[in-house]
Amino acid sequence: MGIEALAESLGQNILTTTLGKLVGWGRGNSVWPAQFGLACCAIEMIATATAGVDIARFGSEAFRASPRQSDLMIVSGRVSQKMAPILRTVYDQMPEPKWVISMGACASTGGVFNNYALLQGVDKIVPVDVYIPGCPPRPEDLLNALMILQERIKAQGITPRQ
Amino acid sequence: MISENLILDRGVSAGDAWMTVDPADIRQALSTLKDGGYRLLVFLTCVDHLVDASRSFPARYELVYELRDMDRPEHLRVRAFVDGDPPRIDSVHDLFPPANWEERETYDMFGVVFNDHPDLTRILMPDDWVGHPLRRDYPVGGEVVEFSEEHEIWQTAPDKA
Amino acid sequence: MSTPEGVTISRTGEAGAFGGELLTVNFGPHHPSTHGVLRLIVDLDGEQVRSVKPVIGYLHTGIEKQMEALRWQQGVVVTDRHDYLSPPINNLAYALAVEKLLGVDVPPRANALRVIMSELTRLSSHLVWMGTSGLELGAMSMLMYCFRERDTILDMNEEISGFRMHTSYIRPGGVMADATPRFLEMLEAFIRAMPGHVDEYEELLTMNPIWRSRTIGIGRLSAEDAKVLGATGPMLRGSGVAWDLRRAIPYSGYEDYDFEVATSDLCDCYGRYLVRIKEMRESVKILRQALDRLPDGPVNVDDRKILPPPREELETSMEAVIHHFKLFTEGYSVPPGDVYVAVESGRGENGCYVVSDGTHKPRRVKFRSASFVNLQALERMALNHMIADMIAIIGTADAVLGDVDR
């Protein structure tokens, strides 16, 4: 069978791509966040999952209660010195590959609270992929961050973060 | 209702009635007030009067007990001034159950020791924390913000304090 | 701490009533059903709860210390963030306390706008409570319904203050800005629609057999216990005590509004739910009256020492420029003294104790938070219940952890 005949018989049913792109496509469209609400931003994170904004359109509605089933940690709110070791433990329990969104000013930099009690930015204990400004950010901002993260995951291929 | 010899001082601050009692008599004073109708302890806290030039205070730490009579309804603030290292006062957790956590918080934040408290441990800060954050000589902490008005006095110091 | 970090289950060695051994189970602080970063150490006999020890502080933000480092008018921003489900009510407690020390009274229109914002906040706080509690007890659709109306309220917040959640709208000396005509239109539409929505929630939950069997008779707290433990808000009213600060010690003109204090004699989780439903209806009633009787006039005190002059004046008056400059470089100072003001938030008594030493920063600000005190009742309420019921009890106690830990 000649190559033209093969192409004709398969028609529009086959795409050729690299394995990396395929894996990235799959991973990017099914990011499962860990259910990790901390403070004010957690309420907006819940609002992102409700019908008005609907994070399910981007394949991330499955908020997992166990870190072992999740790919993404949304640090939604201020991280106190007492919470920091627990946050790191939860992060360590997540399987690779994993990503972190730092949601809101408090998680990113400490926000308005420049004091003894808070970690001045969650990036001191876990690597952060996307930062969202705002106090708290709107649900749309979280969706935007998720889309940025998806683009990045899709570009990373099979072995992100070598 | 409360015998006058327990009261060291009394007055009104911005519309709120208050009285000062000797810290040694705090349990006696509060239990008399409780029997007299002030059955709810709204809050208990401490104020650190380190270098406060606006008024004169008998001691550095002022313990504040806000009581409420829900039937009338009426408020009364009871103060007791304590000094020392650590400052000590009797616990009132058995008179007013909400005082249990409030006393732990006051211990955590100011280092005030409440005698006979069943579980006087840190409540808000981690167990291994050093220092009592709400004392006035404890730095606010955090990170230095350049060009801010507090630039010189804001130090990153929680672990050194 | 007797239980080391990371150990989730350990045996105590004591014998339980059902022939087994007591188990100590660690819940949280990262746990999907604890309503925030609450940690509980529970002693279990089979599935029965023998003792509960809440461990808090995982969201300690140092708000009280932070406020000592901020000037009086800057502190408003921080008050928003301790009880993050009712920011304008937190603002109100702080603003009333500072105003009482300064000895100023706000104009009637400001008072009416404060009442409107407080009631909208109470509604949104109860909506979040109902949505998340429904979710925890298996009624996922509640979340979708409740957040729909919450979003309407947040849109109104945005219209009047420019911010969805942390509005900082109520400030010492008045409010941030006058209500826009669009806000009043939105409010009118909301007041018309809301009673129907509350009916919807009631249809979903009030006679729902799953909801009823999971809440009726669960987490009993007698009226006497509730008073002794210092519980306030729906926790106290759900035990049949008609105590509401809006009625008992009125503030911001609440004495002029006609509303009922919602109570329930059931003393259990279901009673607290009924109280909240009733409160939502009463809030709509108050909103109706406030909107109908909204007085005209200024929304801020006419005192250049406390609030900045209007923009037009800055272009013509040298004195206004000086006041503006002084206010934003140094702030105002408050006469020495201390004051306690309590307001009724969605969770109960939200108080603010302020001590001034006469400078431009507070000496001490203490927040008396309802959740902190109400959570102490958990030990008593959860006793001898099944462990699954504890989730319902935590849910209806409605502790906001930002409020507990401050």
Asked if the C-beta of A119 comes within 8 angstroms of chain B's C-beta atoms, the answer is: no
Contacts of C181 (CB under 8 A, 6+ apart): none
Residue A18 lies in a domain: no
Sort out which chain C residues have CB atoms less than 8 A from A114's CB and list them: 66
The domains of chain C are located at: 9-55, 66-301+333-368
Distance from CA of B29 to the nearest CA of A (A): 36
Across the interface, do A51 and C132 touch by the CB < 8 Å criterion? Answer: no
**B43 contact residues in C (CB cutoff 8 A):** 340, 351, 353, 366, 368
CATH code of the domain in which A144 resides: 3.40.50.12280
- CB of B41 within 8 Å of a chain C CB? The answer is yes
Q: What is the ipTM of this complex?
A: 0.86
In order along its 162 residues, chain A shows pLDDT tens digits of 677 887 777 777 777 788 888 888 888 888 899 888 888 888 888 888 888 888 888 888 888 888 888 889 998 888 888 888 888 888 998 988 889 999 989 889 888 888 888 888 888 899 999 999 988 898 999 999 999 999 988 888 787 664
User: Is 80 exceeded by the pLDDT of residue B3?
Assistant: no
List of chain A residues whose C-beta atoms are within 8 Å of the C-beta of residue B126: 81-82
> CB neighbours of C287 closer than 8 A, spacing ≥ 6?
C116, C119, C120, C187, C190, C191
Contact C357 B75 (CB under 8 A): no
Is A152 a member of any domain?
yes
d(CA B63, CA B78): 8
Q: Are the beta carbons of B70 and C230 separated by less than 8 Å?
A: no
Examine residue A11 and state whether it is found in any structural domain, yes or no: no
State how far residue B25 is from chain C, nearest Cα, in angstroms: 22
Q: Are C24 and C10 in contact (CB under 8 A)?
A: yes
* Choice between B132 and B5, residue whose per-residue pLDDT is larger: B132
Note whether A117 contacts C: Cβ–Cβ < 8 A: yes
For residue A160, is the peptide bond before it cis, meaning its omega torsion is within 30 degrees of 0? no
d(CA C354, CA C143): 37
- Per the DSSP assignment, residues forming a β-bridge with A32 are none
Q: In this structure, is residue A23 part of a structural domain?
A: no
- Report which of C273, C397, C306, C345 is spatially closest to residue C82, judged by C-alpha positions: C345
Question: Within an 8 Å CB–CB cutoff, is residue C225 touching chain B?
Answer: no
**Residue A88 within any structural domain of the chain:** yes
B27 and chain C in contact, CB less than 8 A: no
Phi, psi of A144 (to 5 degrees): -60, -45
Overall domain count for chain A? 1
- Cα–Cα dist C264/A77, whole Å: 35
C397/B69 Cα distance (integer angstroms): 24
- Which residue, among C94, C100, C95, has the nearest Cα to C63 in the 3D structure? C94
**Best of B60, B123, B129, B149 to mutate (most C CBs within 10 Å, chain C):** B123
State the nearest Cα–Cα gap between C382 and chain A, in angstroms: 23
SS3 track for chain C: CCCCCCCCEEEEEEECCCCCEEEEEEECCCCCCCCCCCEEEEEEECCEEEEEEEECCCCCCCHHHHHHCCCCCCHHHHHCCCCCCCHHHHHHHHHHHHHHHHCCCCCHHHHHHHHHHHHHHHHHHHHHHHHHHHHHCCCHHHHHHHHHHHHHHHHHHHHHHCCCCCCCCEECCEECCCCCHHHHHHHHHHHHHHHHHHHHHHHHHCCCHHHHHHHCCCCCCCHHHHHHCCCCCHHHHCCCCCCCHHHHCCCCCHHHCCCCCCCCCCCCHHHHHHHHHHHHHHHHHHHHHHHHCCCCCCCECCCCCCCCCCHHHHHHCHHHHHHHHHHHHCCCCCCCEEEEEEEEECCEEEEEEEEECCCCCCCEEEEECHHHHHHHCHHHHCCCCEHHHHHHHHHHHCCCHHHHHC
Residues in C touching B154 (Cβ below 8 Å) = 69
Name chain C contacts of B40, Cβ cutoff 8 Å: 227, 230
Is A14 inside any structural domain? Answer: no
- Residue C331: its pLDDT value, please? 85
B158–A116 C-beta distance less than 8 A: yes
The answer to whether the CB atoms of C59 and A38 lie below 8 A apart is yes
Asked whether the beta carbons of residue C357 and residue B98 sit closer than 8 angstroms, the reply is no
pLDDT at res. C127: 92
What is the per-residue pLDDT for A97?
Answer: 86
Contacts of C65 in chain B (CB under 8 A): 133-134, 138, 140
Q: B57 and C346 in contact (C-beta within 8 Å)? A: no
Q: Is B50 on the interface with C (CB under 8 A)?
A: no
CATH 3.40.50.720 fits B4-115, yes or no: no
Residue A63's domain comprises: 33-156
Residue A63 inside a domain? The answer is yes
Mean local confidence (pLDDT), B105-133: 89
What pLDDT does residue C10 have? 74
Residues 249 through 288 of chain C touching chain B, CB cutoff 8 Å: 249
CA-CA distance, C263 to C244, in Å (whole number)?
10
Domain boundaries, chain B: 4-115, 130-161
Given this model, what pLDDT does residue A144 score? 92
> Which residues of B are less than 8 Å from C362 in CB distance?
none
**Contact assignment for A118 to B142 by CB distance below 8 Å:** yes
- Output phi, psi for B17, to 5 deg: -75, 140
C338 within 8 A of C346, measured Cβ to Cβ: no
- pLDDT at residue B159 in the model: 52
Helices C108-136, C87-102: crossing angle, 10 deg rounding: 150
| Nearest chain C residue (CA) to B95 | C228
Contact A50 C65 (CB under 8 A): no
Q: From first to last of its 406 residues, what are the pLDDT tens digits of chain C?
A: 344 455 577 777 777 777 777 888 888 777 766 677 888 888 888 888 888 888 888 888 889 998 988 889 888 999 988 888 889 999 999 999 999 999 898 999 999 999 999 999 999 999 999 988 888 888 888 888 999 899 999 999 999 988 888 888 999 988 888 889 999 999 999 999 999 999 999 988 888 888 888 888 888 888 888 888 888 888 889 888 888 888 888 988 888 898 888 888 888 889 999 999 999 999 999 999 999 999 988 888 888 888 888 888 888 888 888 888 888 888 888 888 899 999 998 888 899 999 998 888 899 999 998 888 888 888 888 888 888 888 888 888 888 888 888 8
For domain C66-301+333-368, the CATH architecture is Orthogonal Bundle (1.10)
Cβ-defined contact of B140 to A116 (cutoff 8 Å): yes
- Which residue does chain A place closest to C128, by CA atoms? A43
Looking at residue B88, the DSSP 8-state letter turns out to be E
Q: Is A10 on the interface with C (CB under 8 A)?
A: no
CA C307 centroid distance within chain: 27
- Is there a contact between A86 and C57 if contact means CB atoms under 8 Å apart? no
Contact A113 C84 (CB under 8 A): no
Distance from CA of A157 to the nearest CA of B (A): 38
Mean pLDDT of B117-127: 88
